[in-house]
Each structure stands twice: as structure tokens, then as C-alpha cells.
């Protein structure tokens, strides 16, 4: 009797998961575009680098840069010295 109860309970659980399985939709993250370096530096004080291997042409900086290819690409216009780091300071 216990064995039958266990089998029935297992089947009910399996059926309930297959019927009520939630659909997962992939939400694409919205990339932030900033109007100028002042706005970008409020969120990322050291600026945004395109990759972790990028070297700063301007010399030493006060803050560490945040590395994100998508954020850099969206704010590429703010990279005045074209060293692949936008708004470094």
C-alpha cells in the first residue's frame, strides 16, 4: 500500500510540474547611454574600459575603471583620446 501511494504521489508531482511549468523569457538588459562624462562618472567614477587589457594613454588615474564592452560601445563618443577607455579620470 505504501508503495502504491508513493508511486501515485510521484506521478502527481511530475504531472503538476509539466503542466504548470513557468515559461522563462530572457530579458535583454538595457544598456545605459550617458549624455556626457559627468553623467557617466556619477555611476562609474573611473570611466568605462572596453576590455581589461586596455592601457590608459593619459597616464595615472584617480579611480579604477569599470570594464564592460557593451557600456563602452554605447558611450564610445565620450572617449576623446581613443584609448578604449571612456571618461577616465
Q: What is the pLDDT of residues 11-20, one digit of tens each?
A: 777 776 666 5
Domain count, the chain: 1
27-65, pLDDT tens digit by residue?
A: 556 888 999 999 999 999 999 999 999 988 877 788 999
In a domain, 78, yes or no: yes
Cα–Cα distance for residue pair 70/50, rounded to 1 Å:
8
Domain membership of residue 20 (yes or no) is no
Residue 59 included in any domain: yes
Short-list 50, 45, 42, CA closest to 75: 50
In a domain, 10, yes or no: no
What pTM was computed for the model? 0.65
Residue with cell 560601445: 73
84 pLDDT above the threshold of 90? yes
Position 24 in a domain = no
Amino acid at each position: 500500500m505504501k508503495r502504491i501511494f508513493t508511486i501515485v504521489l510521484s506521478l502527481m508531482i511530475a504531472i503538476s510540474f509539466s503542466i504548470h511549468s513557468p515559461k522563462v523569457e530572457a530579458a535583454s538588459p538595457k544598456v545605459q547611454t550617458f549624455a556626457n562624462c559627468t553623467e557617466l562618472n556619477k555611476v562609474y567614477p573611473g570611466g568605462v574600459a572596453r576590455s581589461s587589457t586596455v592601457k590608459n594613454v593619459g597616464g595615472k588615474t584617480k579611480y579604477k575603471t569599470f570594464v564592460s564592452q557593451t557600456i563602452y560601445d554605447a558611450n564610445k563618443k565620450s572617449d576623446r583620446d581613443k584609448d578604449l577607455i571612456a571618461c577616465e579620470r
